[in-house]
A and B are shown apart, each in its own frame.
Chain A
Amino acid sequence: MPAEFADAVVVGSGAAGAALTWRLASRGAKVVCLEQGDWISREALPSSRREVETFLRRGPSSLSPNSRRLPQDYPVSTVGISPAQIVMFNGVGGSTIHWEGHFPRFHPSDFRARSLDGVAADWPLRYEDLEPYYDVNDRMMGVSGLAGDPANPPRAPRPFPPLALGKRGEAVVRGFEKLGWHWWPSDNAILSRDSDDRLGCDARGRCNFGCPRKAKASVDLTYWPRALRAGARLRTWARVQEITLDARGRARGVLYHDQSGALHEQLGRVVIVCGNGIGTPRLLLNSRSRHFPDGLANSSGLVGRNYMTHPSHYVEGIFAERLDGHVGITSNPCFSQEFYETDAKRDFVRGYSLVVYGPFGPLSQAWGDARPLPWGAGHHREMRRRFGHTVGIAIMGEDLPEETNRLELDSGRHDRHGMPAARVTYRFGENTLRMLDHGVSMARRALEAAGAVELAQAPGPGVFAHLMGTARMGSDPRRSVVDAWNRAHDVSNLFLVDGSSFVTSSAVNPTNTIGALALRAADGIWERRREWS
């Protein structure tokens, strides 16, 4: 039995778990966070290794748990008509270890898709409810950007000046300007100037695989040192397999395996799951009991359903001039939201962002995001024509929730502690496919206007592997899993705080919204603390 009894037990130390733990601990709560992986040393990250590009596809530093197969990982199989790529990281900092740092906000309309456009569902909160928490999250993470973007509501001056566009961004901006389209320098959680023990970005690239300067934020660098100073406890190599209940059906704590495999129970007044769009529903579905035979907090039957990602497509332009698109941040230096909001003249609802990318390096150029380099007699000539001369525009589309896109337990596969793995079933919707077709046409126009001499596009749609929607928020317990404060409808002292609570996906990266939701949920938990005593 545990020696300590926590006010709050947090499962997962990623973008949500870190922000929420810091916020609660700073207010005086006794918080214990359980993380299935370990701390990551900067030196262990592979960005400075010559084979770094190979990890885009496989190996122990891969972005996918199915390739890494490390002790802290668990397999996630993907099936369905359009199997979705799975990318996540298990360790202190979660997927912020391997993310690119892009840090946009949702639009107000993203919270009102049903009312405005007749699709998906409305969130039980508004943009204005999250806005102050976005501001806190921006400051804590160290965001570089520029206020004044007319495609988004006004926001406070950014903590750091915007990162340079680089030749890659400047080339595409030429196209946006020529067409009269919207564009803006991206908010990125990457320092443009030195701050404390983190150095400003010096544009060496490969942000996904670790920044030796700590310019790219990850929550092990930002929130966690502050949370620990505030008194929070972080227990690594602690894999939670089940949420335990008391006789009244309230959360009592969690059962977890330590590194040796021994099973422990951590008790707490509230349990907060921050495992994101796959980890959270997996844990709920594995927490079956007499009270909850179909999985914990699943009276709606929606735990695991409405899995959303960000459908994408990619168009690449070859330019006559050398642009060195691999230099600079890996994330996009600028974006266009010309086609973000619904337009009745189009054959799809909702919209997409256009984001500017370059090849990762020479190997990625040879593999080809849009098309592989030809082999044989013309190989070297074509490499010289393309390498350093290509820039791409990725379409990041909004995914609409569909109950048939779902996560289930995979009883045929298990993690090293015997807990069933996850299986994701996914297909692109018709609206998505029409949206991506439009996006490809517009990306081609932009690159042509920018002066590309040749265009190529990916052979088919793909995804930005963001994990959302599988324990969604809502006011109606029959149609949602958690309420507007991320509290489970079925279990009054259980909170689900991460991308799983998203009602809609928007057409931007989710991490800033995950962090803002977590900060807000922490405030809600703290304000009702007398209820948990």
Chain B
Amino acid sequence: MRRSITMRRNWTRRGFLQTAAAGTFAATGAARAVAAMSSGTRPASSPFTARLRATLSAAMDEIIPASDGMPAASDTQVLRYLEQISASDGGVRRDVRRAAEALERRCRPRRFASLSAARRVEVMKALEKEEPAVFGSFRDYVYEGYYTNPGIWSRIGFEFYGPERPGPGMPAFDESAVARVRTGPPLYRKLT
């Protein structure tokens, strides 16, 4: 049997419940620790205006909010991540801008970032329903920024085996597992 990485990470279901009971994660020391583990560097100049950045930040925190013992997207450098990938990839930049502009268009004359959380979610659900590709690409970029953060990995029990550390190991195959199948009739067509 393969060793359980779950146990080696000390991440258990019980542990999760205890963490969740601690309540909202945002603005805690742990959130800052997760943010600090993001190794990204900020581009010299953001490809987004301050207004756009506010929209993106508000929207990403409705996609991944602070709850259940986990930090919100904006607490884990996801905005910085979006800026980085947008600076290097015109397709991403277009997708991110298009999503932010679509959200703003749907709440004029107010600004998306100024809406209540409940109203933001309404606007985003409408965008998801009516322009699923626009919403889906933005959601997935937010997921990228969040789930490529090693600080998040440790909190969900994911171990990343880089070149400097061995993998969990490859135990021997137990041939007794195929005892039933091995004695079965041929399943392929024998041809003459």
Contacts and interface: CB of A to CB of B under 8 A. Distances in A.
B169 A203 contact: yes
A176 to B, nearest CB: 8
Contact of A54 (B148, B170, B188): B148
Interface stretch (A230-238, A358-366, A465-473, A479-487): A358-366
Interface string A359-377: 0011101110000110111
B182 A375 contact: no
Contact of B139 (A165, A184, A372): A372
Contact of B143 (A153, A373, A387): A373
A150 interface: yes
A162 B158 contact: no
Interface in B152-190: 152-153, 156-158, 160-163, 166-173, 175, 177-178, 180-182, 184-190
A50 B187 contact: no
A165 B170 contact: no
Interface stretch (B44-52, B62-70, B100-108): B62-70
Contacts, number: 176
B170 A200 contact: yes
A108 B143 contact: no
B187 A53 contact: no
A191 to B, nearest CB: 9
Most chain A CB atoms below 10 A, which of B68, B70, B149, B182: B68
Given A184-B181, A376-B62, A362 B161 contact: no
Contact of B162 (A48, A362, A377): A48
Nearest to A167: B2
A183 interface: yes
Nearest to B91: A58
Interface in A6-32: none
A98 B152 CA distance: 27
Contact of A362 (B39, B147, B191): B147
B30 interface: no
Contact of B89 (A58, A148, A379): A58
A478 B144 CA distance: 51
Interface string A108-149: 110010001000000000110000000000000000001011
Nearest to A161: B173
A322 to B, nearest CB: 5
A373 B64 CA distance: 11
Contacts of A366: 140, 143, 146-147
Interface stretch (A242-250, A256-264, A333-341, A496-504): A333-341
Nearest to B37: A50
Nearest to B136: A372
Contact of B166 (A185, A202, A387): A202
A202 B65 contact: no
Interface stretch (A324-332, A431-439, A523-531): A324-332
Contacts of B181: 149-150, 182-184
A384 B152 CA distance: 12
Nearest to A144: B173
B172 to A, nearest CB: 7
Nearest to B184: A150
B64 A375 contact: yes
Contacts of A182: 181, 184, 187
Interface in B53-110: 62-65, 67-70, 89, 91-92
Q: Which 10 A-B pairs have the closest CB atoms?
A: A204-B167, A202-B167, A204-B161, A380-B68, A162-B173, A363-B147, A151-B187, A366-B143, A375-B63, A362-B147
5 contacts: A146-B178, A153-B190, A164-B170, A324-B4, A376-B62
Interface of B: 2, 4-6, 16, 39, 62-65, 67-70, 89, 91-92, 121, 136, 139-140, 143-144, 146-150, 152-153, 156-158, 160-163, 166-173, 175, 177-178, 180-182, 184-191
